[in-house]
Amino acid sequence: MLKKSHVKLLKSETINYPTTDMMRNLLIAQVKIHGLELCLMTSHLESCKEHSQERMNQLRKVWEKMREAPANVTVIFGGDTNLRDHEVAKLGGLPSGVCDIWEFLGRPEHCKYTWDTKTNTNKKLCYVSRLRFDRVLLRAAKEGARVVPEHMDLIGLEKLDCGRFTSDHWGILCGFTIQT
């Protein structure tokens, strides 16, 4: 969702992943915020361990679209990637010019586990699982204003009145500064 008084939508696109079993896609919005053009992307990549190959195919498509964005535009991708670190490594690591904001900020422990069955009781599992399934990636513009990650926190940590959390994943809230 975009607040029209702050953000102007320039263009949007939905790219369906051709081999998804779970009807997944990539959403792309070209926006202008206070005169600064950004490309915002989100996706819910294929879930579960057994869908690793499809998830890596989808991540390759995300990276491709991040690369294809105009050089003068900052790209921010964030979503429920369901990624395991070994999958990113298997693909050769992040592409040149793309950073993982959690890593950029020094790997803050307080927001490492975005899927945490120790704390989040929405999933009833017979084991505890703590993973960093959700990611926010940044590809800086080659010229013009710089968008610099300032902080990252987890959100959705409080239960609703019904006694459940809003999701089985924690949300990620990132703050940025604009350097002109």
Q: Is residue 33 part of a domain?
A: yes
Tokens (6 digits) for 139: 């590809």
Q: Is residue 25 part of a domain?
A: yes
Confidence tier at 169 by pLDDT (50, 70, 90): very high
Q: Once rounded to an integer, what is the mean pLDDT over residues 78-104?
A: 98
- Reading the block at residue 117, the tokens are 């069955």
pLDDT at 2 over 90: no
pLDDT above 70 as % of the chain? 99
At 75 the pLDDT is 99
Q: What is the pLDDT of residues 19-78, one digit of tens each?
A: 999 999 999 999 999 899 999 999 999 999 999 999 999 999 999 999 999 999 999 999
Q: Active-site residues: which are they? A: 80
CATH label of the domain that carries residue 85: 3.60.10.10
pLDDT (0 to 100) of residue 180: 87
pLDDT over threshold 80, residue 1: no
pLDDT value, residue 3 = 78
pLDDT tier at 106, thresholds 50, 70, 90? very high
Q: Give the torsion sign (CA, 112, 104, 99, 31).
A: positive
Q: Residue 83 sits in which domain range? A: 7-116+131-146
Distance of CA 58 to the CA centre of its chain: 13
- Reported as a single tens digit per residue, the pLDDT across 116-135 is 999 999 998 889 999 999 99
155 belongs to a structural domain? no
**Average of per-residue pLDDT across 170-178:** 97
Q: How confident is the model at residue 107 (pLDDT cuts 50, 70, 90)?
A: very high
String of DSSP letters for 100-129: EHHHHTT--GGGS-SEETTT--SS--SS--
Specify if 179 maps to a domain: no
Q: Rounded to 5 degrees, what are φ and ψ at 135?
A: -135, 155
| Any domain includes 168 | no
For residue 1, being part of any structural domain is answered with no
Alpha-carbon distances of 79 from 52, 71, 82, 143, rounded to whole Å: 16, 22, 9, 26
- Mean pLDDT throughout 104-113? 98
* Helix H or strand E encompassing 36: strand 36-43
Q: How many domains does the chain have?
A: 1
Instruction: Report the pLDDT averaged over residues 138-156.
Output: 97
Is there a domain that residue 172 lies in? no
